[in-house]
Amino acid sequence: MKSPDIAALEAAVGHSFAHHDLLQQALTHSSYAREMESARSAPEGHVGDNEQLEFLGDAVLGLITTEELFRRFPMFREGQLSKLRAHLVSERHLIRVAQELQVGHFLRLGRGEEKSGGRNKPALLVDALEAVLAAIYLDGGWEPAQRLVRDRIITPELDRVVHHGSLPVTDNKSALQERMQALGRPQPVYLLVKEQGPEHSKTFTVEVRLPSAENGGPPEFVGRAEGLTKKNAEQEAAGQVLEYLRVAQPSEGRGKRPAGSN
C-alpha cells in the first residue's frame, strides 16, 4: 500500500508511479544504503541508492531544458540560450525547486547524515531532485518528466526573470563606459529597436551604436542583441562592442596621434 508521504510527493511532482521501487531508490541516500547493507548478510546485502538515478536525471534535465528554450526563443543566439540554460539547471535555482517540493522531507538518510542536517544540504537535495526526475522518466516516459521540468523548474523562473530582469549578467555596460572614457571617445548610444511577443513573455532587441571618430559619420560598429528584458539585451550588445574594441584597439591606438606630429 502506498504511504501517505509518498502519495503527497507524487501529487507534488504530478506523477503517480507504477513502480514505486524507482521512487524509493530515488529518495535513498548512499548513507542509508550503506547502513542497511551492513545490517544484512550476503547475498542480500546490496541496497540501491540514488547516485545512478541522479546521473540520468541530470542528463534528462539538461535535454528537456535545452529543447524548451530552443522552442520558446527561436530568435535567441547560442550564447543567450546557454546562459539561460546554465541558470535554470544551476544548484542555486534547483535548490529552491527542491525546497518547494519538500524533497528533504521524503529522503531516507543514514543516522550520521541525519544528525548533520542532511535534509537541508543543497547538494544532497538537488541530487535527490534529479534522481526523482530520472525515476519519473523511467516509470512514465518523456511526457511526465517534461511536464515536471516545464511546470516546476522552467516556467516559474522564466516568468520571474521576465518580470524582474533578475538573471545574473556581467556588467558589460559599466565596463564599456570605462573603456570609452579611457579612449577619450564619446559614449555609445543604446537604442531599443524591437519588442516582440505577448505582454507576459516579450523579447527585446537592443542596438548599441559606437559613434564614429568622424563627427556626424555613421556608427563605427553596432552591437545587436535580444533578451528577456531590455537590461539583459543591453548587456549582451554592450559585450559585443567591448569585444570589437578589444580586437580593434591596436589600430585605434596607432590612429590617435597628437596634433602636429609627423
The tens digit of pLDDT for each residue in 55-114 reads 999 999 999 999 999 998 887 878 778 888 988 999 889 999 999 999 999 999 999 999
Residue 227 dihedral angles phi and psi, to the nearest 5°: -160, 165
What does the pLDDT average to over 213-236?
83
Tens-place pLDDT, residues 11-37: 999 999 999 999 999 999 999 988 888
Catalytic residue among 10, 35, 58, 67: 58
Copy the grid coordinates of residue 56. Answer: 540520468
Indicate the helix (H) or strand (E) that contains 86: helix 78-88
Catalytic residue among 49, 113, 130, 220: 130
Residue 37 a catalytic site member: no
Closest CA to 83 of 206, 232, 253: 232
- What CA–CA distances, in Å, run from 207 to 44, 194, 210? 66, 10, 10
Domains 4-164 and 172-255 share a fold: no
Residue 58 a catalytic site member: yes
pLDDT number for residue 118? 87
Indicate the helix (H) or strand (E) that contains 60: helix 51-72
pLDDT above 70 (res 252): no
User: What fold is seen in the domain 4-164?
Assistant: Ribonuclease iii, N-terminal Endonuclease Domain; Chain A (1.10.1520)
**Alpha-carbon gap, residue 160 to 153, rounded angstroms:** 12
Copy the grid coordinates of residue 160. Answer: 520571474
**In the chain, domain spans:** 4-164, 172-255
**Alpha-carbon gap, residue 107 to 124, rounded angstroms:** 10
Q: Which ranges in 91-220 belong to alpha helices (H)? A: 91-100, 103-106, 111-115, 122-140, 142-148, 155-164, 172-183
pLDDT number for residue 55? 96
- In single-letter form, the type of residue at position 106 comes to F
Tens-place pLDDT, residues 128-183: 999 999 999 999 999 999 999 999 999 999 888 766 655 544 578 888 998 898 88
Tens-place pLDDT, residues 188-223: 999 999 998 877 667 889 999 999 877 667 889 999
Indicate the helix (H) or strand (E) that contains 243: helix 230-255
**Domain 172-255, classified CATH 3.40.50.150, yes or no:** no
Closest CA to 61 of 106, 98, 16, 111: 98
